[in-house]
Amino acid sequence: MGKYQKTDLTKKTNEVDENKPPLVVDTIHDVFFDWTEIKNNSLPEFIPPNLYDAARWWIECQEKPDGRRERPRLQREHGRTHWITPYHDRLVFALKKYLPLTAPQQAFILEHIRAGIPWRGDEINYYNQVVEHQRMMDKNPELFKKYASKIIKQFAKSKITAQ
């Protein structure tokens, strides 16, 4: 876990460092800080109490960034410069959806993340369907392909008739 840097938050300014994007660990830390210190909520007991450790834990739970689509890039518009950070944004979105969930929902999500089924902040009912389909596919890939093919064909027909 030594690959994450801790930055000095006392030196925050509105200036953008054009040479390096914000660190994802700092961005996630800020979400945990907002949740605990500003909104006065507690963290679930399985999340490390140190907010930087919590941020590193969340990063490790999530899918790794897509190197091309999710890399930070500098944006200049209307005389202002800012960083576009798709990977940071994806992790923030999922974390903000995760923290207010019930303990059983959080446990369900973590269990399946650990089993290799990524979660990107989907609604719990939708994610449950994803998990069920993954289980179906794991049990019998050929049968699942037939099932999925049938669903895709039905969907395609409904799109054609809806137009």
Maximum alpha-carbon separation in the chain: 59
In a domain, 143, yes or no: no
How would you write the pLDDT of the chain (163 residues) with one tens digit per residue?
444 445 444 444 557 788 899 999 999 999 999 999 999 999 999 999 999 999 999 999 999 999 889 999 999 999 999 999 999 999 999 999 999 999 999 999 999 999 999 999 999 999 999 999 999 889 998 988 888 888 888 888 886 655 5
- CA–chain centroid gap for 53, Å, is 17
Q: What is the DSSP secondary-structure string of 65-100?
A: P-TTTTS-EEEEETTEEEEE-HHHHHHHHHHHHHTT
In a domain, 130, yes or no: no
In a domain, 36, yes or no: yes
Q: What is the DSSP secondary-structure string of 1-62?
A: -TTPPP--GGG--S---TTSPPPHHHHHHHHHHIIIIIS-PPPPTTS-SSHHHHHHHHHHHS
3-class DSSP state of 118: coil
Distance CA 148, CA 142 (A): 10
In a domain, 147, yes or no: no
Task: Give the pLDDT of residue 76.
Answer: 93
Distance CA 152, CA 95 (A): 31
Task: Give the pLDDT of residue 9.
Answer: 46
In a domain, 153, yes or no: no
Task: Give the pLDDT of residue 159.
Answer: 62
Work out how many domains the chain is built from and give that number.
Answer: 1
Note if the pTM is more than 0.85: no
Task: Give the pLDDT of residue 14.
Answer: 59
Containing structural domain, residue 42: 1-101
Task: Give the pLDDT of residue 130.
Answer: 94
In a domain, 152, yes or no: no
Task: Give the pLDDT of residue 56.
Answer: 98
In a domain, 54, yes or no: yes
